[in-house]
């Protein structure tokens, strides 16, 4: 069971956009450059986040991506589901309905207990991801960053918003 690498990329891009000046947008190329990522692959994930209503893809000379909502209104779960889909990790194949003890489908009156446990675990996982917003992540980055990191970020910011 593995999340796609695009989840990490999408979350870092959302955090970067959350700490940009409010009128600034970043192109796919800039977002890729900042994180050392392949532009074409990143573009696919940013487009998925745009379709999900997390990013706004501006056009024209001042175009580029911005967050489409305040960062406090974008949860980690929103980004995970935009990039990786919202299919549950467990897919019940109803194997209890096969073999020598099988009975007609209508006689299984309750959801398979194994499926039920898996649904509960899936909900716990999503609830945990939903508790943290991109604004929370951005505040954490600001708190944890080293002075040198903040200085280098400031230099890069000046260059890209010139």
Applying CB under 8 A, the residues found at the interface with a copy of itself are: 1-3, 5, 7-9, 11-12, 15, 33-37, 76, 84, 87, 89-93, 95-96, 98-103, 107-110, 113-114, 117-118, 120-122, 124-129, 132, 136-137, 140-141, 144, 146, 148-149, 152-153, 155-156
Task: Give the whole-angstrom CA distance, residue 40 versus residue 143.
Answer: 32
> What DSSP designation does 26 have?
B
Q: How far is CA 161 from CA 63, 70, 108, 156, in A?
A: 12, 20, 62, 9
Cβ proximity to a copy of itself, 62 vs 106, nearer residue: 106
Is the separation of the CB atoms in 67 and 134 below 8 Å? yes
Task: Find the shortest distance in angstroms from Cβ 17 to a copy of itself.
Answer: 14
CB 30, min distance to a copy of itself, A: 10
Measured from the CB atom, is 36 or 61 closer to a copy of itself? 36
Name the token pair of 157.
Answer: 């910011």
């Amino acid at each position: 069971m593995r999340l796609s690498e695009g989840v990490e990329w999408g979350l870092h891009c959302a955090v970067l956009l959350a700490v940009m000046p409010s009128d600034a947008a970043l192109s796919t190329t800039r977002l890729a450059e900042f994180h050392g990522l392949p532009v074409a692959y990143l573009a696919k994930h940013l487009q998925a986040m745009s379709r999900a209503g997390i990013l706004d893809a501006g056009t024209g000379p001042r175009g580029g991506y911005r967050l489409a909502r305040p960062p406090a209104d974008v949860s980690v779960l929103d980004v995970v589901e935009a990039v990786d889909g919202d299919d549950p990790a467990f897919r019940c194949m109803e194997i209890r309905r096969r073999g020598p003890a099988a009975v007609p489908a209508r006689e299984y009156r309750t959801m398979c207990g194994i499926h039920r446990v898996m649904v509960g675990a899936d909900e716990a996982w999503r609830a945990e991801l939903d508790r943290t917003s991109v604004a929370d992540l951005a505040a954490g980055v600001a708190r944890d960053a080293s002075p040198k990191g903040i200085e280098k970020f400031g230099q890069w910011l000046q260059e890209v918003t010139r």
